[in-house]
Every structure is written in structure tokens, then in C-alpha cells.
Amino acid sequence: MAIVEVKVPQLSESVAEATLLQWKKKVGDAVAVDEILIDVETDKVVLEVPAPSAGVIVEIVQPDGSTVAADQLIARIDTEAVAGAAASAPAPASVAAAPVVAASVAAAAGNSMAGVAMPAAAKLMADNNLAAGSVPGSGKDGRVTKGDVLAAVVAPKVVAAPAVPARAAAPLLPQVAAPVGRLAEQLAGRPEQRVPMTRLRARVAERLLQSQSTNAILTTFNEINMAPVMDMRKRMQDRFEKEHGVKLGFMSFFVKAAVHALKKFPVLNASVDGNDIVYHGYFDIGIAVGSPRGLVVPILRNADQMSFADIEKKIAEFGAKARDGKLGMEEMTGGTFSISNGGTFGSMMSTPIINPPQSAILGVHATKDRAMVENGQVVVRPMNYFALSYDHRIIDGREAVLGVVAMKEALEDPARLLFDI
């Protein structure tokens, strides 16, 4: 027997501990070298733990949901074992508590894993009083995944159960939109669900409270006529996509306009360190991105040196990584200014919260046709409200207002971005 240890990868210096999410393998499963075994969630990113060697998992030391530290042992792999042989060995104490599928089901399936519930799925089944074998599995070899259980929980046959008595365990509430009729059934009996915050959500909450309590936040607004940008985008988008392999969106214009304003008013790109103002000679722009785990803000480094195509490609890459939980620590560290585009979700107006230690953040909203007065005539224009929240400790109203005006002028006359005027 040749045992190889699986350990938690190195974490950032500012991160002391992390949480194990869900094991993708169980004791007795064969694994290939570099195959992902489990994801580890910190308060900033999700890290993948690959198998250091090929072999068979003979022990899972730390189960799903465990709090772990860097370099901590979480599993062992036997590089000489044969898949299936290790499965007959007694399960370690750390995973012995996982619910077991009825013996009759296992016997009927032979060596097949059909109907076997993954640990997280088994827990959800127990919480929702679902019998073993009652949920069809869509995972590898027919295993029941957490998604299978969630789908069963929100199915009509499940929610039609009698109302939950007061103080009794409530069924899992739906996490996605459901038809109105079914939603009424799901909420019958006044159910409740208590779900712990993820590390990321807890960290975001902590930082937002820190921002509110330490910054003198004020927000200034302005309205932007987006017609010139929309016309330019319409003329160029086909050629742009053919040339660069990425669509021409609005965010590259917003980033360019923001950098244009930050160059004119450097204090908007500064930060506070004690009693000092730190002026940054570079433009690292944070782009707020929604993800299944919560809000993340990856950084466009040296945005002033990036082309429109560079910006669009990087933002597309950030969006894909955020959805898959693949953003790295280095991609979300630093930043001198941020942009939050709530308009993608239909927001008309908001007051964004500064992302510390930055001193300003731009909120962009939905572009809508509005009646505007030009030269004494009422005309229809596609308008967007910009909101700049800033730290009034170091940024005066003059710089904040003129900064937004500089963005407005650049977007209403995009040629300014080419000539830097």
C-alpha cells in the first residue's frame, strides 16, 4: 500500500481558514491525477483541490462543511489499490455518519451506485423527510446529487404535504422562481428555512458595514445621453466582433470614460491610509460581478493601457469565472476604483457603497428612453443615470461632480476618448 495525502492548498496571507464544500468522490472511488476532488471556499474565492496522484480514495478525513486551514490533511489516496476493493473496507469515523442507501437497493444494483445519495444530498433528504431511493439520481452511475434533491423538494408532489406545525422542521424553501400556483403551495404552513451565510457572503457583509462606518459616503448623480455611444456601437459591433472575436458591449465605454475622468481628477482614484491620502499612479478598475456565491469584484489592471477589445475580453472572462467559481485570489485583490452596473438587472437608480480601501465607486443603471428638452423642444433620448458615491473625507463635491461630468462628456462625445480631451 502506497498512501498519498490530500491537503488543503495554500491560502492567502489574509485568510486563516476555509470551508470544504462537497466531495466529488467517496471512499472506494478511483481518481486520476489532477482530478478535482473537492472545492474549498474562502471568504474571497473558491479553490479546487486536485488529486496529487492517481489511485483510490481510502479515507476522507474531513467531511463536507468542515472548517480547515492551509496544508491540513483532508483525505488519503492509495496509489496501488484497485477501485471497488477499498469500498468494502470500513468507512472512517469522519464519514460514517453519512446516510446509507437501503441494503435491498444496493443488492438489486449489484456494484452499481444507482440510487446512492451524495453526502450533501443525503442530508437534504433527511431534512425534508425523503425516503432513501425516492429521488432518482442524475449523477455519475446514477448517484443522487444535491440538485436532484432540490428538484424533488420543489416538485408538486412534495410540497403538497400537510402544513408544517409550529416550530417543526420546515421543508426547504425554493431558491429559484416558481409558478405562482406552486409557490402558494410551497409557502403553505408558514415554513422557514435557516441557512448559514457562505464565507463570501459573510465577508461581503463585513466589508460593507466597514465601508458604511468608516467612510463619509455621499453620492452625486448625473444623466447621460447614451445615443452617441449606441450609434457608434451599432455601426461597429459586427466588424468589431469579426476582428476581435468578442462582442462590443457598453462596459468598455464605461471603463474608458471612468479612466478618462480619473486622469483629470486623481483624488477619485486615491485611497485613505490613516491620516495620509495615497494617490495611485495606475488605474486598476474593479468590475462588480454577480455570481451564485454572491458579489465579487475582479480587477482590470492597468485599465488605461487596455483597448476596447482587451476590456471586453477580460470582462467576459471574469463573468465566466464568476459563474463557475474559478476566480483566483490575485484577480480580486487591489483595485483603485470600482464600477457597478446594476442596469443589467434593470436598476434605474441606486447609491453604490464604496469598496474599501477605495474612495469612490460608479453606479451605472438601465438605459431608458425619456422625454428630454433640447433647444426648447421635447425630444426622446436613451438616458442613463450615473451615480458616483465618494468618500467626502478626501473628495470634495467639486471633484466628484466634475468627475461625473467628465464621464458624461466623454460618453456623449466618444471622440474625446480617442483624443483624451
Helix/strand/coil (H, E, C) string of 172-184?
A: CCCCCCCCHHHHH
Active site residue 392: yes
Q: What is the pLDDT of residue 165?
A: 44
In terms of residues, how long is the chain?
421
Q: What is the pLDDT of residue 315?
A: 94
Task: State the cell numbers at 368.
Answer: 431608458
CA 352 to the chain's CA centroid: 18
- List the pLDDT tens digit at each of the 421 positions of the chain: 688 999 998 876 667 788 888 899 989 899 999 898 998 887 767 788 999 999 999 999 999 888 888 889 999 998 887 765 544 444 444 443 444 333 333 333 444 455 666 666 676 677 676 777 777 776 666 767 766 766 676 554 433 334 444 444 445 555 555 566 676 777 777 888 888 887 777 877 888 888 888 889 999 999 999 999 999 999 999 999 999 999 999 999 999 999 999 999 999 999 999 999 999 999 999 999 877 777 789 999 999 999 999 999 999 999 888 888 788 878 888 899 999 999 888 999 999 999 888 999 999 999 999 999 999 999 999 999 999 999 999 999 999 999 999 999 999 999 888 887 7
> Residue type for 359, please?
S
Q: Centre a 10 Å sphere on the Cβ of residue 215 and count the other Cβ atoms it contains.
A: 22
Q: What does the angle CA 318 – CA 323 – CA 326 come to, to the nearest 5 degrees? A: 65
The structure's pTM equals 0.65
**Considering only CA atoms, which of 361, 402, 400, 410 is closest in space to residue 256?**
410
Active site residue 260: no
Percent helix, strand, coil in the chain (nearest 5)? 35, 25, 45
Q: What is the pLDDT of residue 179?
A: 62
Q: Which of 231, 324, 396, 420 is catalytic?
A: 396
Domains and CATH numbers, the chain: 1-97 (2.40.50.100), 199-419 (3.30.559.10)
Q: What is the pLDDT of residue 254?
A: 97
